[in-house]
Amino acid sequence: MNRTKENPHACKMCSKAFVRRNDLEKHILTHTKEEPYICETCHKAFSQQGNLKSHLLTHTKEKPYVCEKNSEAFSQQSNLRSRLLTYSREKPYACKICSKAFSQQGNLNQHLLTHTKENPYVSEICNESQSTLTNHLQAHSKEKPFACAMCSKAFLHQGDLKRHLRTHTNEKPYSCDLCSKAFSLQVTLKRHLLTHTKEKPYACEVCSKRFSQLGNLRTHSRTHSNNKPLSF
């Protein structure tokens, strides 16, 4: 075990050591999968009390974490940390025209457009005309300038990064007006709404039976194709 004078409380399962015993007790729950902290609103269970407190904010819409730079408020502390990184991070991407520096390549790409109004640019790869050549070339080069500060996963577009961050924060900004169920993605909310409207937009091409969810249609398609789902 990695017990030391500085960290006297060691976990017998993985040898990780802690300064305080209560930190060790909380850590052990990650091994036992015990979830003693339960949300009284939706009954979701958590292994850590801090995770429960963060989850409760999704019900109250409270935003207690405020950025000192611009007063922007967040419901999750991790979201505030991500915002602060945009201020504290080094700026290695410099504009060759005006020397303005940026923390992310994508931000530099957008800035470069302010120096020219000419349109269009032509991609040497596919000869397609583009008003934003830098973004277009990223699609060819597979460059992913938007990196997650929590797990380092990178994305081509900033919007994809924002959606990914919700997997860390459990933020669910899209709420159903009919039953108050919340979702992290707008597309998931749209699919959920079909359960209230009884709308069935997905039709089987073989027998015309209709379904509210695409996944249900795919499952049904196996009955026509020897257990092989049809392609959509």
Query: Does some domain include residue 28?
Result: yes
Query: Does some domain include residue 153?
Result: no
Range with top average pLDDT, 55-69, 103-117, 207-221:
207-221
Give this prediction's pTM. Answer: 0.31
Query: Does some domain include residue 17?
Result: yes
Listed residue (84, 81, 26, 14) closest to 52, CA to CA: 26
Q: Which H/E stretch holds residue 79?
A: helix 77-88
Query: Does some domain include residue 148?
Result: no
Q: Which of 16-20, 36-40, 127-131 has the lowest mean pLDDT?
A: 127-131
Q: Please give the residue range of the domain that contains residue 32.
A: 9-60
163 in Cβ contact with 184 (< 8 Å): yes
Rg for the chain, CA atoms, rounded: 24
In the prediction, which pLDDT does 4 show?
A: 58
Report how many domains make up the chain. Answer: 3
| Domain end marker among 27, 42, 60 | 60
Looking at the predicted structure, is the pLDDT value of residue 21 above 80? yes
Looking at the predicted structure, is the pLDDT value of residue 175 above 80? yes
212 in Cβ contact with 200 (< 8 Å): yes
In the prediction, which pLDDT does 119 show?
A: 43
Mean pLDDT score of the chain: 74
Query: Does some domain include residue 151?
Result: no
For residues 51 and 76, membership in a common domain is answered with: no
Query: Does some domain include residue 39?
Result: yes
CATH number of the domain within which 187 lies: 3.30.160.60
Q: How many CA atoms lie within 13 A of 151 on its CB side?
A: 10
Quick: pLDDT tens for 43-66: 888 877 777 877 877 777 778 778
Looking at the predicted structure, is the pLDDT value of residue 136 above 60? no
